[in-house]
Structure 1
Amino acid sequence: MSKTLSNKSNLQVLYEDNHLIIVNKRAGDIVQGDKTGDTPLSDVVKDYIKDKYNKPGNVYLGVVHRLDRPTTGVVMFAKTSKALPRLNKLFVDRKADKTYWALVKNVPEKQADTLTHWLRKNPKNNKSTAFPNKSPDSKKAILHYQVLKQLDNYVLVEVSLETGRHHQIRVQLASIGSPIKGDLKYGFNRSNPDGSISLHARYLKFTHPVSNHVIDVTAALPKDPVWDACLES
């Protein structure tokens, strides 16, 4: 997978204060360490903080939420143990508004819609299956989407989630015949050159749990001709 992974010198910091840090994740970054043994984004952020503030010893960093490895966009971490449970609660209580952009194949039948499925995760192949009705071991998944722009070969869709299920956006969009560009696992016919899928956590808005200020961040799109076309008037 040819890609530019995040390191402490190229980290795209979108917002930072004493309690939290928000970054723009690159495709291929893993948010938290896993069995691959690859350096996770959390370690990269720790190195950044250690260098920037000349901190001795270990740097505390809490993982608030995650993005799939081939996706890009907004990821938030807690810088203190006091902030972590408060930030986690924002996401559990659905008080953090996350908005995603996806490039998909095939125009959805409706310009805007709410999708409701029951998803079942298969740990063996790390894949979810969508069902129209409740089935054993399935969890309800709800998302809202709207078509923002039709390009020559793809469609730009904006998505907001009501639930946070495994591969939810990927499997739900694929289930209506609009798989995400590059997502071989859910039915797209070819991979992206860098191994990414064209799903980007574009916006994050929430009320800061300590200062009570509204934080609103936008993550720049990956450098790519198709993404660039989404911003052209």
Structure 2
Amino acid sequence: MSLKDFEEEDDSLYEHHQIIADPNQTLIRIDKFLMDRLPNTTRTKIQSGIKDGFVQVNDKEVKPNYKVHPGDRIIIALPEPPRDTEVVPENIPLNIVFEDEHLLVVNKEAGMVVHPAYQNWTGTLVNALTYHFQNLPEMEGNDGRPGLVHRIDKDTSGLLVIAKSELAMTGLAKQFFDHSIERTYYALVWGIPEPEKGTITINLGRSPKDRRVTMAFEDDSIGRHAITHYETIQDLRYVALVKCNLETGRTHQIRAHMKYLGHPLFNDATYGGDRILKGTQFSKFKSFVDNCFRIIPRQALHAKSLGFIHPVTKKRMQFSSELPEDMREVLEKWENYVQYT
């Protein structure tokens, strides 16, 4: 389990390293080649970076088994500039749902970035965690992200579990790796999914045109395996409230999968949900939708429930949270609209 599926807020990639292979270079896998030249970097992290397109050879993306040739020009670019991994503690209030000596569950507000990254070095959940808790553990290869075993997007609200001990981190990471943690999200989407209940099993990967965007790929050799189970729980004629259960946890998984299904999340600008996709073109309807967009100026997505086995006590833990005010208000407006029009 790693946190390489982190949130990107950048406009471009930043060149960190450029290596020119020696004229006498013997043929060797690129991941092994880079292991010898990038200090304090694990092979797993290098392989993940190659798969995610952060390594180019002669201006082209390659696979981890690519053999380096004499004279190859290798560029390692990451979605953030080099920076010290030290996290500045900040006295930011936390909405703690549960806490014991090994872990805590927090309810994150929309708009809060989970961990420091480019353009968001302060004000994050991790900055708050390091202020309120001492000596939080870190997973290998995820320096600067103490306590984190998973994350949710900046503008997604809801529940996160945080590890306070090494034992908890190891146990929780194993459950994420085994896909045994229950994660339920509520999403407001455009249109009514058909069928109303199903499973989306489509690979996801970064868009070659914009690496901040996750794309669905029907070719199994591209991207990473991703599974989302969904169920429509409220039909509002033009939009629907959908429950989504994650079996895997890819970057923007629900947002990308629902777009692939033809039902982008309401007001999700990245995936085309910030315009009218269902309904009439009458000015009254447009004004209504614009008003809803102002109420929830983000993708309408909330991490509603979280279930797992406590890594120390072995007891089943289950947590649920209320929908945030902006989602509740927009849902109420849609309910009234379809009832009276």
2:166 pairs with 77, 81, 84, which one?
A: 81
> How many Å apart are 1:27 and its aligned residue?
0.9
8 Å Cα contact 1:99/1:159 also seen in 2: yes
1:133 pairs with 201, 214, 219, which one?
A: 219
* Identity score, percent: 34
Q: Which has the larger share of helix?
A: 2
Q: Which residue is equivalent to 2:106?
A: 23
- After superposition, the C-alpha distances for 1:143-172 in whole angstroms (9 at most, x for unaligned) are 110000123642100011222222111011
SS at match of 1:63: coil
Structure number with bigger Rg? 2
Q: Which residue is equivalent to 2:304?
A: 202
Q: Which runs of 4+ in 1 moved over 4 A?
A: 7-10, 227-232
- Kindly provide the amino acid, as one letter, of the partner of residue 48 in structure 1: H
Q: Which residue is equivalent to 1:4?
A: none
- Kindly provide the amino acid, as one letter, of the partner of residue 223 in structure 1: E
Structure ranking higher on relative contact order (CA contacts 8 Å, 6+ apart): 1
Gaps of 5+ in 2: 1-89, 137-145, 276-289, 337-341
8 Å Cα contact 1:221/1:227 also seen in 2: no
* Alignment of structure 1 residues 92-103 onto 2, 5 Å: 92-103=177-188
- After superposition, the C-alpha distances for 1:21-61 in whole angstroms (9 at most, x for unaligned) are 11111111111111112321022133334xxxxxxxx4424
8 Å Cα contact 2:163/2:169 also seen in 1: yes
Q: Which residue is equivalent to 1:160?
A: 245
Aligned partners of 2:316 and 2:201: how far apart in 1? 30
* Alignment of structure 1 residues 159-178 onto 2, 5 Å: 159-178=244-263
> How many Å apart are 1:230 and its aligned residue?
9.5
Aligned partners of 1:74 and 1:209: how far apart in 2? 18
Q: Which has the larger share of strand?
A: 1
> How many Å apart are 1:133 and its aligned residue?
3.0
Aligned partners of 1:227 and 1:32: how far apart in 2? 30
Query: What RMSD in Å do the two structures reach over aligned CA positions?
Result: 2.4
- After superposition, the C-alpha distances for 1:98-141 in whole angstroms (9 at most, x for unaligned) are 11110001001111011111222138531111122324x42122
- Kindly provide the amino acid, as one letter, of the partner of residue 211 in structure 2: N
- Kindly provide the amino acid, as one letter, of the partner of residue 106 in structure 2: V
Q: 1:68 to 1:39 in 2, by over 3 A?
A: same
- After superposition, the C-alpha distances for 1:187-226 in whole angstroms (9 at most, x for unaligned) are 1134943642111111111110101111110122111202
Gaps of 5+ in 1: 1-6, 50-57
8 Å Cα contact 2:151/2:160 also seen in 1: yes
Aligned partners of 1:100 and 1:229: how far apart in 2? 21
SS at match of 1:104: strand
Aligned partners of 2:236 and 2:91: how far apart in 1? 35
Aligned partners of 2:113 and 2:335: how far apart in 1? 27
- Kindly provide the amino acid, as one letter, of the partner of residue 222 in structure 1: P
8 Å Cα contact 2:264/2:271 also seen in 1: yes
- Kindly provide the amino acid, as one letter, of the partner of residue 213 in structure 2: K
Residues 138-147 or 191-200, more deviating: 191-200
* Alignment of structure 1 residues 138-149 onto 2, 5 Å: 138-149=223-234
Aligned partners of 1:159 and 1:99: how far apart in 2? 6
Normalized against structure 2, the TM-score is what? Answer: 0.59
Q: Number of matched residues?
A: 217
SS at match of 1:38: coil
Q: Which residue is equivalent to 2:280?
A: none
8 Å Cα contact 1:63/1:78 also seen in 2: yes
Q: 1:229 to 1:189 in 2, by over 3 A?
A: closer
1:32 and 2:32 matched: no
Aligned partners of 2:269 and 2:196: how far apart in 1? 24
Residues 98-107 or 154-163, more deviating: 154-163
Normalized against structure 1, the TM-score is what? Answer: 0.84
- Kindly provide the amino acid, as one letter, of the partner of residue 323 in structure 2: L
Aligned partners of 2:104 and 2:300: how far apart in 1? 24
Q: Which residue is equivalent to 1:91?
A: 176
